[in-house]
Amino acid sequence: MWYFIFRRTAGFVATLFVVSAVVFAVMNILPGDPALTILGLDATDDALAALREQLGLNQPVLARYVSWIWNALQGDFGISHSFRVPVSELIAERLPMTVSLAVAGMIFTLVIALSLGIGAAARHRKVGDWGVMFISQIGIAVPAFWLSMLLVLLFAVKLRWLPPGGFAGWSDPVAAMRSLVLPTIALGVVQSAVLARVTRSSALEVMRQDFVRTARASGLSRRRVLWRHVLPNALVPIVTIVGMQFAALVTGTIVIENVFYLPGLGRLIFQSISNRDLPTVQALVMLFAAIVVTANFVVDLLYVVIDPRLKART
């Protein structure tokens, strides 16, 4: 088991390094002068030279990469050109928004998808099953940003129950929660649709096995068998997908925050693109990619917990 964990950890660190190299290469080595991109075509030569000096563009590429990584590891992502504060400060301010949204989306996804998936498996080839399969087929095809607009049309424009967007801060917790309801649903529906299907097929697989029949035959209730015996055994494929989905939810916040005007990292990325704030974009892309890679790594480690057979084998 320890060898397994060690190997995965080494792979994880190596992947992060390669990802950082790719991000750095795309943002720095591709043709074009970052200073010119930031300042625009009518910048004076002096201003360009000063900015190149500040960004360290006069140093060799490799040295710039090493110092970027070295500083990033210590939490220093450079200075945002448009906000004129350290990028790390911008991230710290906006991270809670993005994390709350992603976590809320994950909880929504798990609750909806596990109930629907197990429910559909229990009613295999009956109306309930077909209903869940049909809804999930549509759910997968609906773009999250369009679903957001439909939710706003119904609950904000027509019924006026919830705000159409914006976020006033955590000082009023009730208002804050209310502004997060629609974004959470919009974010979670697609992932719920995917996960419900995986849960269903994984549960169906388990339900064919003998121990399920034995459990039923020895008088356990249908409900208890489903949730205590079928679900735990169906978890391995579910966890794989959930890990990927957490990554998808985090990157999904980029879209959702822009639809609902929520002040998180996703909004920040788009503001930085329009401001041509390359250091901030670079830091944020790296951060999002790191979250995706980390989520996959955590899933790998979770296998050992969920599937004791792995513990014995390695």
Partner 1 sequence: MTRRLPVNFILGAVLVALVVGTAALSLVWTPHDATLMTISNKFAPPSATHWLGTDQLGRDVVSQLMAGARNSMAVALVAVLLGGSVGVALGLLASAIGGWVEDGVMRLADLGFAFPALLFAIMLAAVFGPSLTNAVLAIAFINIPVFARVTRGAANQVWTLDYVLAARAAGMNRFAISRDHILPNIAAAIIVQATIEFAVAILAEAALSYLGLGAQPPASSWGRLLSEAQTLMYLAPQLAIYPGLCIVVAVVGFGLLGDGLRDMSDPRLSRER
- Listed in sequence order, the residues at least 6 apart from 168 whose beta carbon sits closer than 8 Å to its beta carbon are 175, 176, 179
CB of 229 to partner 1, least distance (A): 24
Give DSSP secondary structure letters for 55-104.
Answer: HTTTS-HHHHHHHHHHHHHTT---B-TTT-SBHHHHHHHHHHHHHHHHHH
State the Cα–Cα distance between residues 159 and 154, nearest whole angstrom.
6
Asked if 299 contacts 8 with a C-beta cutoff of 8 angstroms, the reply is no
Instruction: Please tell me whether residue 13 binds partner 1 under the rule CB under 8 A.
Output: no
Record the tokens describing residue 26, joined without a space: 């795309």
Instruction: Please tell me whether residue 268 binds partner 1 under the rule CB under 8 A.
Output: no
Instruction: Please tell me whether residue 32 binds partner 1 under the rule CB under 8 A.
Output: yes
Instruction: Please tell me whether residue 4 binds partner 1 under the rule CB under 8 A.
Output: no
Question: Which pairs count as long-range contacts for 220-228, CB under 8 Å and 24+ apart, including other chains?
Answer: 222/122, 226/118, 226/121, 226/122, 227/118
Instruction: Please tell me whether residue 278 binds partner 1 under the rule CB under 8 A.
Output: yes
Taking CA atoms, 41 is separated from 29, 33, 258, 282, in Å, by 20, 11, 28, 22
Given 5, 10, 13, 26, the residue binding partner 1 (CB under 8 A): 26
Instruction: Please tell me whether residue 145 binds partner 1 under the rule CB under 8 A.
Output: yes
State the Cα–Cα distance between residues 310 and 185, nearest whole angstrom.
36
CB of 141 to partner 1, least distance (A): 4
Q: How many CA atoms lie within 13 A of 297 on its CB side?
A: 18
User: What does the per-residue mask of binding to partner 1 show for 153-192, with x meaning CB under 8 A?
Assistant: x---x------x----------------------------
Piece of the chain touching partner 1 by CB under 8 A; list 40-48, 67-75, 231-239, 243-251: 243-251
Instruction: Please tell me whether residue 276 binds partner 1 under the rule CB under 8 A.
Output: yes
Given 35, 121, 193, 254, the residue binding partner 1 (CB under 8 A): 254
Instruction: Please tell me whether residue 240 binds partner 1 under the rule CB under 8 A.
Output: no
Piece of the chain touching partner 1 by CB under 8 A; list 14-22, 83-91, 201-209, 232-240: 14-22
Instruction: Please tell me whether residue 27 binds partner 1 under the rule CB under 8 A.
Output: yes
Burial 9-48 (b: 16+ CB within 10 A, else e): eeebeebbeebbeebbeebbeeeeebbeebbeeeeeeeeb
Piece of the chain touching partner 1 by CB under 8 A; list 181-189, 195-203, 205-213, 250-258: 250-258
Residues lying near partner 1 in the complex (CB under 8 A): 15, 18-19, 22-23, 26-27, 30, 32, 37, 137-138, 140-146, 149-150, 152-153, 157, 164, 247-248, 251, 254-255, 258-259, 269-270, 272-273, 276, 278, 281-282, 285, 288-289, 292-293, 296
